[in-house]
Amino acid sequence: MRDDRASPCGGVATLDDKVRFLSRPDSYAPGVKNVAVRETHMSFVFMAGERVYKLKKPVRFPYLDFSTLEQRAGACRAEFSLNRRLAPDVYLDVVPLTASASGFAIGGEGPVSDWLVVMRRLDDSANLEAALLDRRLFPAQVDQIAAALETFYRHARRIYLLPEICLAEWNNALAYDARVLLDMRFGLPQGCVRRILRAQRRFLTQRSDLLIERVRARRLVDAHGDLRPEHIWLGEPPIMIDCLEFSARLRALDPLDEIAFLDLECERLGAEWVGERIQRRLARLLDDDPLSGLFLFYRSRRAMLRARLAIAHLLDPKPRTPEKWPRRARDYLRLAAADAARLDRLLRTPGDR
């Protein structure tokens, strides 16, 4: 994958050039013993000693564009600023990766070749996902997460959008899910996908007023946007990292929707009680009637989104771990199907029974 900036040795700098440099222990000052590298769909992450350096890939997808240096710079600054809301002492700086005749340098002299988000390194064993998988999470720790989220949502910037636009976006999202998840190339269970979509469309037909009312009441906030257990670190207070920085629109969420997503992910990891406890602790703030079906709709929609994002990895020219994504998509479809069945029962009129 080529970038548009000159490399230290002349010609065009490539992403591979930058990754090789940042993977070397001697690239950091002071030096480190080793560098652990992780690749995500949008970034490379370099864990060097007590610091983490994130390099965004020059990629373009329908939902984001990091293809130019200026766009990546803006995304790095947004990531730094937005994440300090819930992790103020983790996100430390945004620094240039510079290029000169002597080579690349982090924060050095010379033309800027790219930008890096610098973070304090966290212990992976201390995040919520690890605690759930190891069955070592206590109710008091869950209550701390709920308290931190309540404070965050009460102070988050309120977002107003036109209800008609929101409703159109919901319907468009269902259509997009259908196009991807019903693609015969992926071999996903067609009947299951259609049943889920049918229940979700029924909700939008019968109870769209619930969504419209919440939008008009300005319940949408500038939220985290990607609130999964792997992004939550336990402690006093808990730390929540890796918010969705590249789209203000995708972060504009009903807190009930975001908690439904966290609830879904906790259940997927075998800890249904965690999401239920957080939901109870935030009941007054979330203001949801369980009989409305709204929480089930949000959960099933999130599960379908995650299934779509998982299987869409196979559309990459060289997908990483291609065997992983069909299994992951089916896991989410199983959860979405259970929620959709419950939602369908709620929506039935007496004449339907």
- Domains in the chain (CATH in brackets) are 2-121 (3.30.200), 128-352 (3.90.1200)
Mean pLDDT confidence for 36-63: 94
pLDDT band at residue 101 under the 50/70/90 scheme: confident
pLDDT band at residue 7 under the 50/70/90 scheme: low
Please give the helix or strand (H or E) that residue 64 lies within, else none. strand 64-65
Lowest pLDDT segment from 125-134, 315-324, 336-345: 315-324
CA distance 287 to 297: 15
% the chain with pLDDT above 90: 88
* Residues listed for the chain: 353
Smallest CA-to-CA distance from 51 within 30, 72, 20, 70 is with 30
* Residue found by looking up tokens 């030096």 in the block: 31
**Dihedral (Cα; 219, 220, 222, 226), 10-degree rounding:** 120
Cβ count near 182 (within 10 Å):
13
Class of residue 49 by CB neighbours under 10 A (exposed 0-12, middle 13-18, buried 19+): middle
Mean pLDDT confidence for 263-279: 97
* Residue found by looking up tokens 């005749």 in the block: 101
% the chain with pLDDT above 70: 95
DSSP category for residue 137? -
Q: Give per-residue pLDDT as tens, 9-20.
A: 555 679 999 999
Whether 315 has a pLDDT exceeding 50, the answer reads yes
Residue 112 tokens read as: 């800027």
Mean of all residue pLDDT scores within the chain: 93
Q: Give per-residue pLDDT as tens, 317-327.
A: 888 889 999 99
Cβ count near 213 (within 10 Å):
11
CA distance 251 to 160: 12
CA distance 341 to 208: 18
Lowest pLDDT segment from 194-198, 217-221, 237-241, 347-351: 347-351
Considering only residues 64 and 243, tell me which one the structure prediction assigns the higher pLDDT.
Answer: 243
Whether 181 has a pLDDT exceeding 90, the answer reads yes
pLDDT band at residue 4 under the 50/70/90 scheme: very low
Whether 71 has a pLDDT exceeding 60, the answer reads yes
pLDDT band at residue 169 under the 50/70/90 scheme: very high
Lowest pLDDT segment from 21-35, 201-215, 339-353: 339-353
Tell how strand 221-222 and strand 103-106 pair up. Answer: unpaired
Class of residue 6 by CB neighbours under 10 A (exposed 0-12, middle 13-18, buried 19+): middle
Mean pLDDT confidence for 118-129: 97
Cβ count near 329 (within 10 Å):
27
pLDDT of residue 5: 44
Q: Give per-residue pLDDT as tens, 302-313.
A: 999 999 999 999
| N-to-C CA span, the chain | 56
Mean pLDDT confidence for 39-65: 94
pLDDT of residue 348: 87
pLDDT of residue 309: 95
pTM for this predicted structure: 0.92
Whether 353 has a pLDDT exceeding 50, the answer reads no
